[in-house]
Structure 1
């Protein structure tokens, strides 16, 4: 007898496996957080979690949406995604390294705590990110120019 059920696609199976793995990791983290309260300080972790969510929803998302909207007016369509992605990557790198390049946690009497020039290093990383973006934009512009030359003249 034939079964007439719908077979899941490979993508659906992969998404399901990734979801199960994510839930397992989440469970492990919650178990660790609640299982060692003297080391993890769950109320403080909850404040950080809620604060991070509020900061994202009330500040980061509206600013990102506004910048994205402005970019739709200033940057042409073929290059817009590259510029938007590069801005998001740049902000992410800068915010992730904020404590380092601002010098938080360092000790003035112990220069070995923060021994590297983090501000300069951030500038190097951001320069590399924007250099890749510039190369992508140049490749897209060159491809568009070649496409216009190869297109037959409609007149």
Structure 2
């Protein structure tokens, strides 16, 4: 564990050194603003929203399907958050279509559709399995 922590601290130090020594490329003031906004958005918006969704899920989704829905929501949120700069169009260069050449919004919808299709298949499989086990009844011992 100590070796991993040292590696993490070394990577953090390298990143901070690059941020502060390459100010034209990194714009430390803007980076600090994004860091503060990210921490505030996480603590003020994301955590309460996740807690509320978790509460609603515990009341609205039946037990056998709850974990599947939670997993699909976690994957969906992670993919959407990780690709936010792409599907929002941040970082592109005006007049240079090759920088942001893909339809990221559409591609995000395709990925999310695949995630929820897989979740639906898993839930259908669980429903059929539970119906089958109810029909056959409990196994009788010797």
Normalised by the length of structure 1, the TM-score is 0.72
Give the distance between the partners of 1:44 and 1:27, measured in 2 at CA: 19
Give the distance between the partners of 2:17 and 2:8, measured in 1 at CA: 14
| Alignment map for 1:134-145 (pairs within 5 Å) | 134-145=120-131
* Matched position secondary structure for 2:120: helix
Give the distance between the partners of 1:21 and 1:100, measured in 2 at CA: 30
Matched, 1:151 2:138: yes
| Alignment map for 1:1-150 (pairs within 5 Å) | 15-104=1-90, 105=92, 107=94, 109-148=95-134, 149-150=136-137
Report the RMSD for the aligned CA atoms in angstroms: 2.5
* Distance change in 2, residues 1:16/1:139 (3 Å): farther
Give the distance between the partners of 1:31 and 1:44, measured in 2 at CA: 16
User: Which structure has the larger Rg?
Assistant: 1
Unmatched tracts of structure 1, length 5 or more: 1-14
Cα offset, 1:30, TM superposition: 1.9
